[in-house]
Structure 1
Amino acid sequence: MTPEAGPNGTEQANQALCQLNRILDSDSSGSDVTIRVEADDRIVTVSRTVAEVLRQVLANTAAGQAVSVVPMHAEFTTQQAADILNVSRPYLVKLLDAGEIEYRKVGSHRRIKAASLAAYRHQSEVESRRAADELTELTEEMGLY
């Protein structure tokens, strides 16, 4: 499920994110986090790991981005994986064939784990940052910046 946050949802997410950041940043013990539901004063206790995931969801929602939570063991078709990476399906297949992204075959169909997509995306972002840093360094050395 990928809900869209309207203007009110974005503001609420931002307020909740600020509060959750204060809680998580002030407690380095790794203990559980208690959340009070204002409507009926119920208490919900979640693990630190779940609270960190909630922080990421709130940060993206506050930024106006849609959010999907997917188990890391979930598997995607090549089209779904291409959509997630925002690339064409043929380009994704080239990445799979080149061994850039781990996958398995089910009959003649490829299945890609969410964890494999996350690892590829992370590595791609690291390489992009490194290339941008090198370009900035070269520009400065040449006196163009």
Structure 2
Amino acid sequence: MTQTELTIQEAADLLNVSLEYMEQLLEKGEIPQFKPGSLRPIRIEDFMAYKHKRDKISRAALDELADQAQELKMGYE
């Protein structure tokens, strides 16, 4: 691997997901990959684009939950 690539295991570790889940993301095309030989390296820029997208979705969901909690007066005032 070069400094611009990650192994599947490295990417899984950075996302804090299992290797199996990481492989599913790759097979679904959620994160682009290229396949020289039997290795399936992931370009760091592709990985980071996926991570930013995932983080944005997570942040929006958390914001929505916080808004709902405030509307329901669940002690977050």
Structure 2 gaps, min length 5? none
The Cα shift of 1:120 comes to 1.2
- Aligned partner of 1:90 in structure 2 is 20
The Cα shift of 1:131 comes to 0.2
- Aligned partner of 1:105 in structure 2 is 35
Offset from partner CA, 1:78-108 (integer Å, 9 cap, x none): 1122122222111110111122111111233
Q: TM-score, normalised by structure 1?
A: 0.46
Offset from partner CA, 1:47-72 (integer Å, 9 cap, x none): xxxxxxxxxxxxxxxxxxxxxxx95x
- The question of 1:142 aligning with 2:60 is answered no
Offset from partner CA, 1:99-137 (integer Å, 9 cap, x none): 211111123331100111111111111111100010011
Which structure has more relative contact order (CA 8 Å, sep 6+)? It is: 2
The structure whose residues are more often strand, as a share, is 1
Offset from partner CA, 1:15-53 (integer Å, 9 cap, x none): xxxxxxxxxxxxxxxxxxxxxxxxxxxxxxxxxxxxxxx
- Aligned partner of 1:79 in structure 2 is 9
RMSD of Structure 2 on Structure 1 (CA): 1.8
Among 43, 50, 64, the residue aligned to 1:120: 50
User: 1:119 and 1:75 mapped to 2: Cα distance?
Assistant: 13
The structure whose residues are more often helix, as a share, is 2
Structure 1 gaps, min length 5? 1-69
Is the partner of 1:107 in helix, strand or coil? coil
Q: Paired residues, what number?
A: 74
Percent of aligned pairs with the same amino acid: 42
The Cα shift of 1:141 comes to 1.8
User: 2:6 and 2:46 mapped to 1: Cα distance?
Assistant: 10
